[in-house]
Each structure stands twice: as C-alpha cells, then as structure tokens.
C-alpha cells in the first residue's frame, strides 16, 4: 500500500513513507535485470558513439566613451543585448554561409540547406556568462573544425554588431542634424518677427526690463496733479489736449470699478499694491499661467483616477486656489491702473449687496457723464478711430459693461487698447524667441552627442564587442564514450528504481499494520510476527474416555501420573508453554504426508485395543491431562448431558498440542495475549463464540485459531473449545496431530442429529481447559452439515458449557460458508497474511460479512522486512 494515514503525526507519516520506500527491495531481481540490460545497452552505445569536441570563445561588451545616451544598467543591457546577439548568431543566413565556407554536413547539405542549418543549430551554443560577457561554442567530431568554426562565428557576430552600431549612430546623427536645422530656422523666424516689431515700435528696445508704457509711480496729491519730471516718460507722439473734467470722471470711474473688485485684492487694507502696471500685469500673467498649469494637472489626474479620488479632489482645490489668486491679481491690476498705490482702508471690507448696488449706480452715472462730455467734444471719436486703424492690430473690446459707451469709444480708450495690444505682442514675441532658443540649445546638445557617437562607432572606440578569450583547440572530448556510458548507467538506474517504485505504489498487497490503517476499514487488533519454521506435530491417537463418569472415576482429583514435560508442573495444571521448542510450519510448504482416510479407524471400537493399551483407558486418562468434568445439564428428553468428552490427548513423549507454542518468539506470545485481552473485554463475563476467517486460502487462519484457543485457555483462565468450522477443507486435527475416529467428527455428529439420533456432542480434551471438536481427516464426511439448522443449535449448546468457542472458519471470498459462520457466532476475526493478502480482497471480505460482528483484523505472518510471497491456492495444514 502506498497511501498514508491522514490522522497521523508528521513523524509517523515520515516513518510510513520510509517504510513504503523500503519495499523497493522486494523487487530487487527485476531491478537487477533492468540494470543489467540498461548497462549492456549503454555499453553498446558507448562503443559505437563518435567523440564530440567543443570549442568556446568569450566576447566582452566594452564602453570607452560615455555619451549619456544609454541610461540602462549593465543587467538590463545584458537582458536586452543577449537575445539580440543570439538571434543574430543563429540566423539562417549566418549559419548557411558558415556551412558553405567550411563544407559542413555534406550529406544533409546535398538534400537541403535547411536540414543542414537545423543540424548546425543543435551544435551552436550561446550563453550570457555575466552582465557583459557572452560565450559562443561549437561542437564537432573534429577538434580543428570546432575551433575554426567557433572563431568564424565570433568574427561574424562582432562584424554584424559593429555594422549595426555604426548604422544606428549614423542614422541618429543625420536625424538630429535635420532637427537642428529646423530649430535654427525657428529661432531665425522668431528673431525676425521680434526685430520687425521693434522696427515698427521704436519705444520698445530689446534688453529693457519693462515696457516703455509702464507708468512711473504716481506722486501723492490730488488727482490730476502733475507728476515730477523724472517720473514722466516722454510720449512717442505729440500729446493731445485733455479735458480736465473728463479726466477726473475717468479717474473716478476707474476708482469705482477698482472698488467693485476690492474684496479680491491680494493685500490687506493699506498694503502697497504693485508699483507699476507692468508689475501688476506680470503678476496677473503668472496667476493665469498657474491656473492653466493647475487645470492641466487636474485633467491629467482625471485620466487615471475618478473625480472622487483624494488626488483628484486635491487637484481641484489647487485649481480653485489658483483661480482665486488670478482674480486677486486682476483686481490689483485694475487698482494700479486707477492710480492707487494701496488698497483704501475704508473700502477694503467685503462688499455687501447694498454697497455693491450703490457702487453699480455710481458707476452707471459716471459712464453717462463721460459719454455726454465726449459727445460734446465732437470729433474725438473719429480721431480715436483713425488711431485705431493705424495700429498694428485692431484693439479688442474693453472690459467695461456693454452699454452705449462701448459703441462710442473715445480717443483715450483707443490709446489704452493700443497699448494693451502692443504689450501683448511684445511679450509673445519675446516668449517665442526664448522658447526657440531653448529648443535650439537642446537640439545642439543632442546633435553634438550624436556626432560624437557616430564618430566613435566609426572609429570603433565608443562601444565595442571584442574578443575576451579566443576560440581554443579542445584537448578533451566533450561527449566521449565514458560520458555516454555514465549517462546511460544513470538513466538505467533511475529507470529501474522508478519502475520498482511504481510497482510499490500500484501494489495493494498488505505488508504491515500501516496498510490496514490506510484502508479505513476494520481496526487492526494485533499483528502476529513471522514464526520460524518447525516440523509438523507427531501424530497421536486419543485415549478413550468411556467408563465411569468423570465425577466418580477412581483417581480423579489425585495427582496425575508423571509424563515428559509435566514433571515440574503442579497437579491439574496446563502444560508449561513459556518456552516451546517448535513453531508452526511454513504456510508455503507442502501439506504433510497424512495417512489416507481409510487408514484412520472410522469404526474404531473405543472399548477395544485400537487406541492405546488398556491400562490408559477412561477416567485415569482424563486425569492424566488434567481434564475437569463438564457441568452436566441433562436434556429434558433423555436425561443425558448435552456435551461429553469422548477422549483425551495423552502425549507421554511431549507437550501435546502445546508444542505449537514452544519456540514461539516473545512478540508472537505478546500479540496473542493482547488479542486475548481484547476478547476478554468484548466477552464481559458471558460466553463468546469467535469465528476466525480470512479473505482467501493459505492466510494462516487455522494456525491463528489454534494458538488463540491455547492462549485463551492459558493457566486455566477459561474453558475453551476449538471447533472445526471449515468443513469443506478441515485442517484442525491434522495441525494438532490428532487421530480421531470417524464418529468423533463434527460433521458426522451433525449428520446423526439430522438423522434423528440425539446424542451428546462429543469433544476431545487436549488440556485441563482446552477441548477440540474437529474432523478426523482432511475431508469432512458430510460438509453440507454446515448449512443445517443443527450447526447453529450445536454452537448454542457449546456456548452453555464453554467460556470461549473458537471456530476455525472458511475463507470469505468464493463461497457463502463464512456468512453462515458469522450468523452463528458472536464475533468475527478477519485474518490477513502479510505479503499475501491484498487490500482489495480484505475490503471485499469485510463488505461480504458486514460490519455488525467484525471485531477487527489480525495481520498474520508479519516479516521484519517486506517480502514477496506467492499465494498458495491449496491451503497447507499449518495454516
């Protein structure tokens, strides 16, 4: 059996596995035969195998100039470069050229170059030895050819790699040169656009930090006061006359519009604003760029996460904060353009709805006054329109509301829009030029590195695949006869052991108690060790017990006459069985030569002299073996006892039937006594009929039943009767060496009862507490009596006179006799013979009998090491 118990500890499972693996030794003959055949085949292959020589060359990947283009580690580069080099080496074109150059594999080349290439692929080897070294090998039956081909493959691989490196470097350089030309053209275009703008607007000069339109800081004083001369900037055109009232209304309007956005001012009350419009415009542009960056980051985040993700929520908050800063920057820009240098303290509080409504009304009134003044001024609108048409770009709409003032722009409003357009164009042109120059610098750096890499690749100085160890001439064959023999021997050993292991795993024969536990069926009660072989018992005739009743027989109760083996025993004690000299015969042995049935005195006259001399008859003979009288229970019909002792086994030269226990090892006696203990627990003080059966023949049930009966009767602890239950093949009398008359046979007594002759059941006393009811020959006189109702009635009668009735039952499989025994008994012991009984047979036997009365399994004949035994179809007498 190969399975392990699932309810065992790890140590038990390990011991179980070792025990199962040890069973491989049972098949040593098959293993030896397979090893012999395998070694012979390996030797033949080794003698016919050609020697193969291997030559190797080692390549190294070197870097001499670092251009900064390769940022991979050495391990990543090896993982990328190794497969590429291997594919290049094993390409069909490369191998075909080498085959034609050296004339390799002429037979396969004559058929097809594809076959030759496939053959060569099996002889070409490539492996990465470390992060920067690679090994190329080639095997051939000629060492010089192996060296030359390996060197040629190395040279081809280096040339292909260098060619590929130069081509890639040249292609990269040419591409970057074109990109450099495009970047230079973009810089030139941006510079030309900026120069054109400066030529049209001379007030702008390259290199100044601010625009010429940036206003100087306003002096303190009433609105409209002239600024210091140092703070004023000369206008580019002659100043037009300005209406003071109109200028005052416009300043007041700018103040109201600024106050409408005072709540979004970036500073606290009284805090200075940016010193100029340019600075405020820069702050506003920076805030707008921050808003755009935050919105771009939010859009990018939403492509990978959901809007409810914490990262998306944080990005939304940054967008809102940037928008708030943009609003504050725009409010500050409006305040600066209105001429304020700080946030008014009295207007810095948050606008209430009433306050905002008042400011909106004041703003509307100012707009109407300004519109009226400009309408009275006359041709100011036409002049403003002419200036707008002369500007480089049409001004955009004002930020004011869409009232009538938007339809009639004045000359001052047109000038303001023109300044805004010029400033925007100025900053855009400068930004374009700066971006073009940065891109040009990047392209120039890349183009310089590409030029350097291309020059280095052409000069073989940047990255070079060079030979570290050239191909050598091999001095020892890579695959010679010794290696073939060793490989064949190793394969043979593993194959033979594998076959033996498979046989162990597929074998369901029971070998030890672990196999019984693994079945999960009836419990294992005891394991009987293998007993040494012993000769069969000497055949003896019984002494007739006819005469006076045992209770009134003269001499009963006195010390029996001395006999060999009984000299030192007390009166009425059983024979001494502690150290018997012999053991039961081997079940594999042939049956002993018994006298034919007609040689036995079937018509034995118990009153004559056919048995023993007349001096040993009747009650004195029973007293000699220490047999005690039965407790007579006269029948109601005849007034006679139901069981009587027909005779006794008197062995003056030995110990009688107890010779079977002499010489038995202590482990066997211990197993029998453990089994007796379990039966005592089951009996509970009541008579118990135990049937000993086995799944098949030659499994030792007769020997076990006999020894179990002797153990139960040991030291007169119980009255035991051994009954022959296998009437088809009786073996009890032959095993005990008893010559019984025909009328003493169990089947004959049952037959007489079936014929209407009611007589007491006659038994033979073999010890003070052990009796036998068996068949006189190896074939029962009437085996069909087992299936009669008298068989069951006889067992019920015997249970009233004996504490134990041990029945030597038939095999379970193949007939229904065991089921009859099971119905007439109180318990069933299933006997399995180690190395003979199969697990499937034991399982089917247990299923046929049923679990109602099965007490357990007794594993018989357990060897210290598992052995392979042949099943004996004809059961020997020793079984």
Between 579 and 10, the more confident residue is 10
Cα–Cα dist 349/105, whole Å: 99
- CA distances to 355, 646, 730, 742, 776 from 599, rounded to whole Å, are 146, 20, 17, 11, 11
C-beta separation of 141 from 51 below 8 A: yes
In degrees and rounded to multiples of 5, residue 34 shows phi and psi of -65, -40
Mean pLDDT of 354-378: 79
Tokens matching residue 620: 């004195």
pLDDT of residue 769: 93
CB 22 within 8 A of CB 866: yes
Determine the pLDDT at residue 628.
Answer: 53
Which three-class secondary structure string do you get for 225-239?
CCCCHHHCCCCCCCC
DSSP line for 402-430: SSHHHHS--HHHHHHHHHHHHHHHHHHHH
Is 60 exceeded by the pLDDT of residue 245?
A: yes
- Walk across the sheet containing 463-469 and list its strands: 124-128, 133-140, 53-63, 463-469
Quick check: 831 and 806 in contact, CB under 8 A? no
- Average pLDDT of span 839-845: 93
DSSP code for 720? E
What pLDDT, on the 0 to 100 scale, is given for residue 75?
A: 65
Pick from 141-155, 349-363, 863-877 the range whose average pLDDT is largest: 141-155
Q: What are the tens digits of pLDDT across the range 272-316?
A: 677 777 788 888 888 889 999 999 988 888 888 788 777 888 888
pLDDT band at 339 (very low <50, low <70, confident <90, very high): low
Q: In a 3-state reduction of DSSP, which class is residue 52? A: strand
Q: Which two tokens stand for residue 78?
A: 């090896």
Dihedrals φ, ψ of 185, to 5°?
A: -65, -40
> pLDDT-based confidence at 812, cuts 50/70/90?
very high
Q: Which of 26-35, 422-431, 624-633, 677-686 has the lowest mean pLDDT?
A: 624-633
Q: Is the pLDDT of residue 353 over 60?
A: yes
Look at residue 55 and give its three-state secondary structure: strand
Whether the per-residue pLDDT at 584 is higher than 80: the answer is no
Which tokens go with 506?
């597929």
Using CA atoms of 547, 552, 558, 562 in order, give the dihedral in degrees to the nearest 10. Answer: 10
Minimal CA–CA distance to 100: which of 116, 119, 122, 123? 116
When pLDDT is averaged across residues 169-186 and rounded to a whole number, the result is: 83
What is the mean pLDDT of the segment spanning 820-839?
93
- Taking the complete model, does pTM exceed 0.75, yes or no? no
* pLDDT score of 633: 47
Under the banding of pLDDT at 50, 70 and 90, the label for residue 206 is: low
Quote the longest CA-to-CA distance of the chain: 178
Q: Above pLDDT 90, what percent of the chain?
A: 25
Within 10 angstroms of residue 176's Cβ, the number of other Cβ atoms is 21
Cβ atoms of residues 861 and 833 within 8 Å: yes
User: What is the separation of C-alpha 770 from the centre of its chain, rounded to a whole number of angstroms?
Assistant: 62
- The whole-number average pLDDT for the span 759-774 is 92
* Higher-pLDDT residue of 527, 865: 527
Q: Which pLDDT does position 344 carry in this prediction?
A: 60
Residue 612 in tokens? 């023993």
Among the ranges given (586-590, 639-643, 710-714, 832-836), the one the predictor scored with the smallest mean pLDDT: 586-590
Could you give the 3-state DSSP secondary structure of residue 875?
Answer: coil
- pLDDT the model gives residue 99: 92
In this prediction, residue 452 carries a pLDDT of 73
In angstroms, the CA 58 to CA 466 distance is: 9
CA-closest candidate to residue 249, choices 359, 338, 330, 332: 338
Please say whether the beta carbons of 447 and 176 come within 8 A. yes
């Amino acid at each position: 059996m190969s399975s392990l118990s699932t309810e065992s500890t790890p140590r038990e499972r390990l011991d179980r596995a070792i025990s199962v693996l040890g069973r491989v030794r049972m098949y040593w003959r098959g293993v030896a035969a397979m090893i012999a055949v395998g070694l012979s085949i390996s030797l033949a292959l080794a003698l016919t195998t050609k020697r193969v020589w291997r030559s190797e060359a080692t390549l190294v990947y070197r870097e001499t100039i670092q251009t900064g283009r390769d940022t991979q580690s050495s391990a990543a580069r090896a993982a990328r470069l190794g497969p590429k080099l291997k594919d290049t080496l094993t390409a069909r074109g490369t191998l075909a050229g080498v085959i034609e150059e050296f004339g390799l594999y002429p037979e396969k080349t004559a058929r097809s170059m594809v076959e030759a290439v496939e053959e060569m692929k099996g002889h070409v080897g490539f492996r990465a030895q470390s992060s920067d070294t690679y090994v190329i090998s080639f095997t051939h039956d000629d060492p010089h050819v192996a060296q030359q081909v390996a060197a040629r493959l190395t040279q081809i691989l280096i040339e292909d790699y260098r060619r590929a490196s130069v081509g890639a470097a040249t292609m990269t350089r040419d591409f970057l040169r074109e990109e450099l030309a495009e970047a230079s053209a973009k810089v030139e275009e941006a510079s030309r656009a900026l120069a054109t703008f400066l030529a049209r607007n001379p007030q702008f000069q390259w290199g100044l930090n601010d625009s010429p339109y940036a206003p100087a800081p306003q002096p303190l004083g009433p609105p409209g006061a002239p600024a210091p001369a140092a703070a004023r900037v000369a206008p580019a055109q002659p100043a037009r006359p300005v209406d003071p009232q109109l200028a005052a209304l416009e300043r007041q309007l700018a103040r109201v519009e600024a106050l409408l956005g005072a709540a979004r001012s970036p500073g606290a009350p009284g805090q200075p604003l940016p010193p100029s419009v340019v600075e405020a415009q820069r702050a506003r542009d920076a805030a707008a760029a921050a808003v755009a960056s935050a919105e771009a980051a939010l859009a990018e985040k939403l492509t990978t996460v959901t809007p409810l993700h914490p990262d998306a929520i944080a990005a939304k908050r940054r967008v809102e904060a940037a928008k708030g800063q943009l609003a504050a920057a725009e409010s500050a820009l409006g305040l600066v353009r209105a001429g304020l240098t700080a946030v008014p303290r009295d207007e810095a509080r948050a606008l209430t709805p009433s306050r905002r409504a008042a400011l909106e009304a004041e703003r509307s009134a100012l707009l109407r006054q300004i519109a009226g003044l400009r309408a009275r001024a006359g041709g100011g609108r036409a002049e403003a329109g002419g200036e707008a048409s002369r500007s480089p770009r049409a001004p955009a709409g004002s930020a004011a509301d869409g009232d009538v003032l938007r339809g009639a722009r004045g000359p001052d409003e047109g000038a303001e829009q023109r300044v805004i357009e010029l400033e925007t164009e100025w900053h855009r042109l400068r930004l374009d030029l700066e971006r073009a120059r940065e891109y040009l610098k990047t392209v120039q750096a890349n183009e310089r590195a590409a030029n350097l890499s291309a020059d280095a690749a052409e000069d073989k100085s940047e990255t070079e695949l060079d030979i570290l160890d050239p191909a050598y001439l091999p001095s020892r064959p890579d695959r010679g006869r010794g290696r073939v023999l060793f490989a064949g021997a190793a394969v043979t050993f593993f194959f033979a052991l594998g076959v033996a292991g498979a046989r162990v795993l597929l074998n369901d024969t029971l070998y030890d108690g672990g196999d019984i536990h693994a079945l999960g069926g009836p419990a294992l009660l005891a394991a009987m060790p293998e007993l040494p072989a012993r000769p069969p018992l000497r055949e003896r005739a019984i002494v007739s017990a006819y005469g006076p009743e045992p209770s009134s027989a003269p001499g009963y109760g006195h010390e029996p006459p001395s006999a060999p083996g009984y000299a030192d025993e007390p009166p009425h004690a059983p024979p001494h069985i502690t150290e018997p000299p012999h053991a039961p015969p081997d079940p594999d042995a042939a049956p002993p030569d018994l006298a034919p049935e007609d040689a036995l005195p079937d018509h034995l006259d118990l009153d004559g002299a056919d048995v023993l001399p007349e001096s040993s008859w009747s009650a004195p003979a029973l007293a000699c073996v220490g047999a005690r009288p039965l407790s007579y229970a006269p029948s109601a019909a005849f007034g006679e006892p139901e069981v009587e002792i027909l005779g006794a086994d008197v062995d003056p030269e030995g110990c009688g039937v107890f010779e079977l226990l002499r010489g038995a090892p202590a482990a066997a006696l211990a197993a029998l006594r453990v089994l007796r203990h379990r039966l005592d627990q089951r009996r509970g003080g009541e008579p118990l009929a135990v049937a000993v059966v086995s799944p098949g023949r030659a499994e030792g049930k007769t020997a076990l039943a006999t020894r179990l009966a002797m153990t139960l009767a040991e030291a007169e602890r119980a009255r035991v009767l051994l009954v022959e239950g296998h009437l088809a093949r009786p073996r009890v009398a032959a095993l005990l060496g008893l010559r019984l008359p025909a009328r003493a046979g169990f089947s004959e007594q049952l037959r007489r009862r079936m014929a209407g002759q009611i007589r007491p059941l006659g038994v033979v006393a073999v010890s003070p507490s052990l009796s036998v009811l068996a068949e006189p020959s190896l074939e029962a006189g009437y085996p069909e009596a087992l299936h009669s109702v008298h068989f069951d009635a006889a067992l019920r009668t015997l249970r009233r006179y004996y504490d134990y009735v041990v029945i030597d039952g038939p095999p379970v499989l193949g007939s229904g006799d065991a089921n009859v025994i099971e119905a007439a008994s109180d318990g069933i012991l299933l006997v399995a013979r180690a190395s003979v009984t199969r697990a499937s047979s034991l399982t089917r036997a247990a299923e046929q009998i049923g679990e109602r009365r099965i007490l357990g399994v007794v594993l018989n004949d357990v060897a210290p090491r598992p052995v392979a035994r042949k099943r004996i179809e004809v059961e020997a007498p020793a079984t």
